[in-house]
Amino acid sequence: MRRVRRSRDVRDSAKSIQGRKMEPGKWIRALREERMVKPSDVERVTRSIADSKHNADFYLSHSTLADIEAGSIPSIHKLFSLSICLRVPLHEVLLPYGINLNEGRTYQAEPPSEALTLQAAPAPLPAFRFQLNFDTNFSTEETTLLRLQPQSVDNLPRFFQARTDPVRFRYAVIGSKDDGMADLLPPRSLVEIDTAQNTVQVFAWRTLRDRPFYLVWHNGGHTCRWCQVDGRELTLLPHPLSRQPVRRFKMPSEATVVGRVTNAWLPFESAQLQRETAS
């Protein structure tokens, strides 16, 4: 009886949220906290699901979950994994997104007559544009992980499409107030992150530029730094010239390595020039 009542409460909550247009991400976070499911639990369970199905689309990293709870719309694969983590049926997770499977019959009309049939116009071929489109709703002051729109990849050259994988490679903008890597990664730089390389590597680098940069999610947001791991402690190391402090977090409860920076597009103005102009 308790399990039936809890499921009914979740379903009623989802319907009420749909009725007053509450943000689905907030509903997911509220339900997760009510069920006492930690982000690390979601990461662990969804990794098992992705491994068993041999499909990385079912996996939710710490940063991906944060994006969803902040308003990003997840794929059907990730909604499936969330339903398992939150212990609710998939159709109830779809309700806050305005999808009620019971309404399918409402839209099943009789086949239109020949006189009322609309002739679809041929779709125009997309004009070639060499660009990547992102969700630009973010703060420019803080380092932010961007959400690449998958449909924009179709407009890229074929040789570049093979290199651009929205699942494996993510993009981030270094915040205008984040000078932690000095001129190596000045503020407003665009960086590409390989999420497959989310383990801190240790090797004999010759210069500071040779040492890998990593994008890290933590309780305060995202930060791009050199990293050092000692047991379960993750240390974020800034550039010596940045005057930024060394920060330490416990993994995975307080921080998670999103991935390694593999490419960067730097602004023409250096961080030093920006500081001199501001002063």
What's the pLDDT tens digit per position in 227-237?
A: 999 999 999 99
pTM (whole model) above 0.75 = no
Distances (CA, A) of 182 to 76, 108, 140, 228: 40, 60, 17, 19
- By three-state DSSP, how is residue 253 classified? coil
- Pairwise pLDDT comparison (82 vs 156), residue with the higher score: 82
Q: Name residues whose C-beta falls within 8 Å of residue 206's C-beta, 6 or more positions apart in sequence.
A: none
Band the pLDDT of 40: cuts 50, 70, 90.
very high
**What is the reported pLDDT for 253?**
87
Tokens of residue 137, six digits: 């709703």
Mean pLDDT computed over every residue of the chain: 78
**What is the reported pLDDT for 238?**
95
Tokens of residue 136, six digits: 């630009």
7-16, 89-98, 99-108, 199-208: which has the minimum mean pLDDT?
7-16
Residues 228-263: tens digit of each pLDDT: 999 999 999 999 998 899 999 999 889 999 999 998
Mean per-residue pLDDT for 62-75?
A: 90
- By three-state DSSP, how is residue 256 classified? strand
